[in-house]
Chains A and B, each alone.
Chain A
Amino acid sequence: MSLEIEGLEVVFPGSSGRAPVPVLRGVSLAVGRGEIVGLVGESGSGKSMTALAALGLVPPPGRVTAGRVRLGDRDLLGLSPAELRRVRGGRISMVFQEPATALNPVYSIGFQIAEAVAAHRRVSRRAARDEAVRLLEQVALPDARRRLGAYPHQLSGGQRQRVLIAMALAGGPEVLLADEPTTALDVTLQAQVLELLERLRSELGLAVLLITHDLGVVAETCDRAVVMHDGEVVESAAVESLFHSPAHPYTRKLLASLPSFRRPERSA
């Protein structure tokens, strides 16, 4: 397994003398090389917190009270801040939901990607720019070299999300945590980004943890899925068996509330 989370607990102190609030309760999941695992659940179920905790980014005053996050042979929770910084964006990186706010508006995208490249490798400025072009081509941004000087506001939402994915790939990661990468996008653009993630998974052998609330995205893109509810993993299964024989009542409830439409008739 590339990424293995075991018994992860995150607690926030209660406000003014109240009991502490557990937000993750014994979360365990694993993502293997070349695998896309969906992490599903409703708002507040702890999906994003799981990803943040895996990177050692739990916002204070919350803290991790138990569990292990293994990346290959290392336990990330035991690392020093300096070691952790090397791992973050290096062996494991993250793509955030909101492509509009995750980029710095006052720097060109070329600068921002080159910065991500230089954070993990000693490279010349020119080599970093060439690498930025290669990364943008890898995420299929048309006209990559010319786009280096573009600012985030000059790009569409779908293009910005490609730039963020390119930045996440800059350190040559084994694991990609993608937190609702398509939620802010329209469906035709969502289809493009999902296709890109699938391609990267097979070309680079990335292990992808895809956080989403959209069961359609899970069915379409993931190999396995982990369902979270109230800070706990309630079910974890291969996508086919999750949809066809959901074991947990909460999974059944989620599936039952799913609207669906009849597909167009297909030509043979």
Chain B
Amino acid sequence: MSAAALVEAEDLRVEFSVRSGLWGRCSTARALDGVSLEVRRGECLAVVGESGSGKTTLGRCLIRLIEPAAGRVLFDGEDLLALSPRELRRRRRRFQMVFQDPFGSLDPRQRVRSVLAEPLALHGRRRDAGRIAELLDAVGLPAEMAGRFPHELSGGQRQRVGIARALAAEPDFLIADEPISALDLTVRAQILDLLAGLRGRLGLTLLFIAHDLAAVEQLADRVAVMYLGRIVELAPAADLFQRPQHPYTVSLLSAAPVAEPVRERGRRRARIVLAGDPPSLLAPPPGCPFHPRCPIARPRCAAETPVLAPVPVDGKTGEHQAACFYPGELREGAVP
């Protein structure tokens, strides 16, 4: 493993058994199908994809909240999957999670003070009023919030408490699973700013799970795009947005509405609208998982499965990877 990697996943597979109907047969949904990636120290790696693409499963798997059926997860060089439950609990201080739903992830009967004191106690940290005020201050909340109950807080304030709770353990690695999806627009921007600021100040390594592409570009150094349990493209953020190579990424960027009306008028005619729905995880198509919806699919795509491999962009082969036999062929050909 490279020294730069804090977390490294190799060929992760996660399967869920799903029973169809009350007496139906059990079938297996492969939520992750051979995912390998590394999260480098101090970077923000964004994982984007639509519902059911496996991004949350991947995040949970990296900190062993879900046990993979196969594969390896190294955290700071140590095999997480080999740890005993006791050792794992001790390691948990180093990786923490911020959840999507700021309403469901806080206990309605706990004051903010006890929400924050719990992880402090668990990890043997100081938990006096001063430390709690520090934590609140770190997420931009006044110290008197400590006495409040979750229902007295706005969505944005609750999400700040959720972040403070994750920070209480002083983690190295923070997974933020759609931390802004449930929030209003003006609040989203504030939470993104907060995460960016914390990352710089505390030197956090961040895995940012999102479906909002615009938020991703603001925060991420690299982006992994997932489709049906696989990573289909992985690239530095600027590259991915400027020169997407996988046809799914191109379509995803094209489908995202942009708040610019004049340019939109020209863009709309050329917008790539994918037909159909994402296929079911229970019956993934053979070959490339994207081929049934892909505008440039050819016979080979239905027969063979492409693997994630470096793609030359501008004649240079570097960090940009895509799992496609014909990378870069689909372009959004808009007339300006």
Contact = CB atoms under 8 A, between A and B. Distances in A.
B185 A267 contact: no
Nearest to A158: B277
B334 interface: yes
A200 interface: no
B185 A215 contact: yes
12 contacts: A187-B211, A187-B256, A188-B251, A191-B255, A216-B259, A217-B257, A219-B259, A219-B264, A220-B258, A254-B185, A257-B188, A264-B332
Contacts of A260: 214, 258-260
Contacts of A43: 184
Interface string B235-256: 0001001111000001111111
Interface string B205-216: 000000111111
B333 interface: yes
Nearest to A42: B184
Interface stretch (B58-66, B69-77, B268-276): B268-276
B243 A265 contact: yes
A213 interface: yes
Interface stretch (A75-83, A104-112, A239-247): A239-247
Interface of A: 42-43, 142, 156-159, 186-192, 194-195, 213-221, 239-240, 242-244, 253-255, 257-268
Contact of B192 (A218, A239, A259): A259
Given A261-B217, A266-B332, A216 B189 contact: no
Nearest to B330: A267
Contact of A188 (B184, B255, B268): B255
B211 A186 contact: yes
A219 B251 contact: no
Nearest to B244: A264
B210 to A, nearest CB: 11
B214 A220 contact: no
B331 interface: yes
A262 B242 contact: yes
B259 A267 contact: no
Contacts of B332: 263-264, 266-267
A138 B271 CA distance: 21
B262 interface: yes
A254 B186 contact: yes
A264 B51 contact: no
B170 to A, nearest CB: 29
* Residue in A189, A218, A220, A257 whose Cβ sees the most chain B Cβ within 10 Å: A220
A258 B185 contact: yes
A247 to B, nearest CB: 16
What range describes how many residues of B lie at the interface?
A: 35 or more
A214 B212 CA distance: 11
Interface in B30-89: 50-51
Contact of A258 (B254, B259, B334): B259
Given A156-B277, A188-B255, A221-B257, 11 more contacts: A157-B51, A159-B277, A186-B211, A188-B274, A191-B273, A192-B274, A258-B185, A259-B188, A259-B212, A261-B256, A264-B243
Contact of A219 (B260, B271, B276): B260
Given A159-B277, A220-B268, A264-B241, A187 B255 contact: yes
B336 A266 contact: yes
Contact of B273 (A159, A192, A215): A192
A219 B262 CA distance: 8
Contacts of B243: 264-265
B186 A253 contact: yes
Contact of B186 (A42, A191, A214, A268): A42
A263 B267 CA distance: 11
A195 B259 contact: no
Contacts of A217: 257
Nearest to A214: B257
B110 interface: no
Nearest to B333: A267
A260 B211 CA distance: 13
Contacts of A243: 259-262
A48 to B, nearest CB: 14
A213 B183 CA distance: 11
B28 interface: no
B105 interface: no
Of all A-B residue pairs in the complex, the 10 with the closest CB atoms, nearest first, are A216-B257, A186-B50, A261-B217, A191-B255, A259-B214, A257-B189, A42-B184, A215-B259, A267-B331, A220-B257
A159 B267 CA distance: 26
Contacts of B252: 187-188
Contact of B185 (A157, A257, A266): A257
B267 to A, nearest CB: 8
A215 B260 CA distance: 9
Given A260-B259, A262-B217, A264-B332, A189 B189 contact: no
A261 B277 contact: no
Nearest to A239: B261
A251 B9 CA distance: 44
A189 B254 CA distance: 12
A212 to B, nearest CB: 10
A142 B275 CA distance: 10
